[in-house]
Structure formats: C-alpha cells, structure tokens
Structure 1
Amino acid sequence: MTMQDDPHLSMVRPVTPGTPQGCEECLAEGSGWVHLRMCLTCGHVGCCDSSVGRHARVHAARTDHPIVRSYEPGEDWRWCFVDEAMV
C-alpha cells in the first residue's frame, strides 16, 4: 500500500486546532508534553507517544479518528494510528 492508498485518508477534513496552545488533556491536568499532534478529522490537539499521557493516540482510539499530523513548527507529516504508518 502506498501513502495515497490508505483508506483512512477519506476521514481527513479541513480542521482548526481545538487548543492551539497545547495538548487539550495535558492543559486540563496541568501536565506537560513532549510533542504535539493534531487530529485531521476534528482538530483535537494531543500529545505524542513519547509523552506520558499519549493523548493523541488515546483520542484516536476513543473516536475512531485515525489520522493526525504533527503540530510542531516546521513539521509537515501525517500518521495513521490504524495502519501505524506515515500517510
């Protein structure tokens, strides 16, 4: 399968970050994060798998929103949690 063949790409929507200042759950808990990811279905901003909460992955599992993009300055890549692959 190529990156463009991922069937989950159909769930990508035009989104704006729900919490542009950082991970939604970490901000609510008062905790920190390592890197940020934004859901490309709804705009949820969550922390990466290197962060304690892994909130981007938790969000994807709870909502069936599979694809995120990096929410780090200068990064422009997408990840599918279902296929565990770049898309």
Structure 2
Amino acid sequence: MELCQHLTEARTEDPPARTPQGCEECLAIGARWVHLRRCLSCGHIGCCDSSPNRHATGHATEIGHPVIASFEPGESWRWCYVDNVMG
C-alpha cells in the first residue's frame, strides 16, 4: 500500500515538543484529555478525538498542518488529516 504524499514528506525526526506534559489548550483551560498527538509540522501537542475538546484535529483544521503522530509511549503511528490515512 502506497502512503499519501503528506505522510511520505512528513518529518522523520521529532519536531520540538512545546508542551510535553499535556495538551497545550487543555492545560490552558484546565480541561482533561484522553491521549496526546503531536503535529509533525510544528510540534504542537494536542488531545485526540476521543478527548472532549479534540485539540489535535482543531489545530490541523485551523493551521493546515496535515500530519500528526501519537505522543503516547510505545506508539509510533502517524495520521494524515488530508487523505484520512494512517502510516
């Protein structure tokens, strides 16, 4: 299976994590999250779609950064919002 262009062009090295202890927006408003995702364009840390506020998806939609990676220990998958594929 061929990966989408966004996944193949996404950073292979980790972008700097700006707030590794949790979702940036949830920490700012005192909300909770379920799992964390890292934007592979800028390093933004946001909460997953199972979290009440879905900040990772919000970041991708608002800013236009297409690929996130799991920021959970032991997980190494990536997701492209544009093509709706996992890599």
The TM-score normalised by the length of structure 1 is 0.90
1:13–1:42 Cα contact (<8 Å) kept: no
Contact 1:24/1:46 (<8 A) preserved: yes
Matched AA of 2:11: V
Listed as ranges, the gaps of 5+ residues in structure 1 are none
Structure 2 counterpart of 1:29, one-letter code: I
Q: Find the counterpart in structure 1 of residue 33 from structure 2.
A: 33
* Distance 1:55-1:80 versus aligned 2 partners, 3 A rule: same
Residue 18 of structure 1, CA deviation: 1.1
Q: Which sections of structure 2, spanning at least 5 residues, go unmatched?
A: none
- Corresponding position: 1:8 with 2:6: yes
In structure 2, the CA distance between the partners of 1:34 and 1:60, relative to structure 1 (3 Å rule), is same
Alignment length, in residue pairs? 85
Runs of 4+ displaced beyond 4 Å: none
The two structures have a TM-score, normalised by structure 2, of: 0.90
In 2, distance between residues paired with 1:52 and 1:83?
Answer: 24
Shift of 1:16: 1.4
What root-mean-square deviation, in Å, do the aligned CA atoms of Structure 1 and Structure 2 show? 1.4
Alignment of 1:73-84 (within 5 A): 73-84=73-84
Question: For each residue in 1:18-69, what CA deviation from the matched residue of structure 2 results, as whole angstroms up to 9, or x when unmatched?
Answer: 1100000000010110000000000000000000110000000111101000
CA distance in 2, matches of 1:57, 1:82: 11
Counterparts of 1:12 and 1:67, CA distance in 2: 9
Distance 2:5 2:53 in 1: 27
